[in-house]
Structure 1
Amino acid sequence: MDFVEVSAKTVDDAITKACIELKVSSDNLEIQVVSEGSSGFLGFGAKPAVIKARKKEDPILDLEDIKSVFEEKKEENKKNIKHEEINLDKREVKSSEEKKLESPGVQTTQRIKIPKTEEDIVVMKASAQKFLDSVFHSMDMDVDIEMSYDDMHECLNIDFSGDNMGILIGKRGQTLDSLQYLTGLVVNKDQETYVRVKLDTENYRKRRKETLENLARNIGYKVRKTKKAVSLEPMNPYERRIIHSALQGNKWVETYSEGKEPYRHVVIALKK
């Protein structure tokens, strides 16, 4: 894809403008700063910032690559766990019936929490470590792995550090998500209750969330001004929920999802 030239008051504004124009988040843009611009003197002689931007090419290791490498492990374990993402999409936007159930005086069924013992946690970490070590060995990567268990959220947090972590993240985090899913299968193989596994590196999850929230607000503003709906790029259920949540309280625009996986995407439209 060819570069497009975008100008704005500041470089940051130009990047945001490019995100809206190309319909991608900033971490999926290849950016070249042509001019940082200047504010001039007392407003006179001001020059805009100019950048060139285009969508990034697919990473060296993509979703299909990692899926094919670990397909055997996936088939072996998938019978022992309920797929976490089955319910994620259903929770994107609470329906009116769900809201009624949350009203005062209405009882709702809550899942019973069974605390993990120290032995359970040790077994989980050992299983994850063994699997991930074999993965990174096959990829010829030297990766440091840190783990901690969050008992409150029943989640095993795993953080990676090392060189070339962008390979593990992949396009829109797809490689990291696939590795997270497979690690979850391995960890939950011998567990009586489901444990969520969260993989992260270089604080990618937080940065991606902030990028999507910023994109949602900017597109929402654009939709309000132009009165034209905008369809975003395909996203996984978790990222679509971020978009929905970012604009949930907006009185001008609404959000909904369209399409089928893996091409399901969020549409931001003016409220009727």
Structure 2
Amino acid sequence: MRQVTASGQTVEEAVQSALEQLNTTRDHVEIEVIDEGKRGILGVFGSKRAFVKVTLAKNQVQEAEKFLKDVVNNMNVEVNIHTTVEDNHVTFDLSGEKIALLIGKRGQTLNAIQYLVHLVINKDGKKFYTVTVDAEGYRGRRRETLESLANRMAEKALRINKKVALEPMPAYERKIIHSVLQARDDVSTYSDGTEPHRHIVIKP
């Protein structure tokens, strides 16, 4: 982590000097004032310089990407990572040969990796990010599967005129089911159970 101590006639001047040395801007650093200094008589006599310690803040997205690379390498899978940032949402798109290993059964491995990356990116960071880890379009395909499942199970609930419980799934997948069936007025949905066994129930 790069850090410089700089001085100036004022705290502001000292900070500017440090920013120039680090070749960065104020929003990418942490500033600690060591000594506020003293202006002195007529701004000269008895004046004392101000000192600051300026540390280059870590780049949360880069740290998370590095962590993701390490996890994938430890699984002996070679991937390319394409990272996109939109406001406070980061998407890591993975592509490579043994990508199925990273997805796992019904995306369980991918969900676990995504959860860990989410923890890492928000650890000690100034900004809060939400994270999506995708693998060669898996999330889009899974969404289509869930939308189809939602409607199929809604029809089943109506046909047998009973509640139908779906398999446990993570919160964002349950959200997809809820939103698909929200538009219908012949069924309603609610979540039941505790994590990681929380699931959706569809009732006529």
Normalised by the size of structure 1, how large is the TM-score?
0.52
Query: Cα gap change, 1:157/1:177 in structure 2, threshold over 3 Å: closer, same or farther?
Result: same
CA contact (8 A) 1:121 1:149 kept: no
Tell me, in whole angstroms, the C-alpha distance in 2 between the residues paired with 1:239 and 1:136.
23
Quote the residue 1:9 is aligned against: none
Aligned: 1:177 with 2:111: yes
1:91-106 alignment runs, 5 A limit: none
Runs of 4+ in 1 over 4 A off after TM superposition: 117-122
| 1:1-54 Cα deviation digits (max 9, x unpaired) | xxxxxxxxxxxxxxxxxxxxxxxxxxxxxxxxxxxxxxxxxxxxxxxxxxxxxx
Picking from 102, 125, 131, the partner of 1:168 is 102
Picking from 144, 147, 151, the partner of 2:80 is 144
SS at match of 1:247: helix
| 1:201-258 Cα deviation digits (max 9, x unpaired) | 1111111111111111111112222212211111111111111111112111111111
Higher relative contact order (CA 8 A, sep 6+): 1
Picking from 178, 183, 202, the partner of 2:136 is 202
Tell me, in whole angstroms, the C-alpha distance in 1 between the residues paired with 2:86 and 2:57.
10
Letter aligned with residue 162 of structure 1: G
Picking from 119, 140, 147, the partner of 1:213 is 147
1:1-272 alignment runs, 5 A limit: 123-151=59-87, 154-270=88-204
Larger radius of gyration: 2
- Structure 1 unpaired stretches of 5+: 1-116
Query: Cα gap change, 1:147/1:222 in structure 2, threshold over 3 Å: closer, same or farther?
Result: same
Question: Could you tell me the percent identity over the aligned residues?
Answer: 45
Higher strand share: 2
Deviation at 1:122, TM superposition (A): 8.2
Tell me, in whole angstroms, the C-alpha distance in 2 between the residues paired with 1:122 and 1:212.
38
Q: CA RMSD in A?
A: 2.1
| 1:93-152 Cα deviation digits (max 9, x unpaired) | xxxxxxxxxxxxxxxxxxxxxxxx68899812321232122212211211111101101x
How many corresponding residue pairs? 152
CA contact (8 A) 2:190 2:200 kept: yes
Query: Cα gap change, 1:249/1:121 in structure 2, threshold over 3 Å: closer, same or farther?
Result: farther
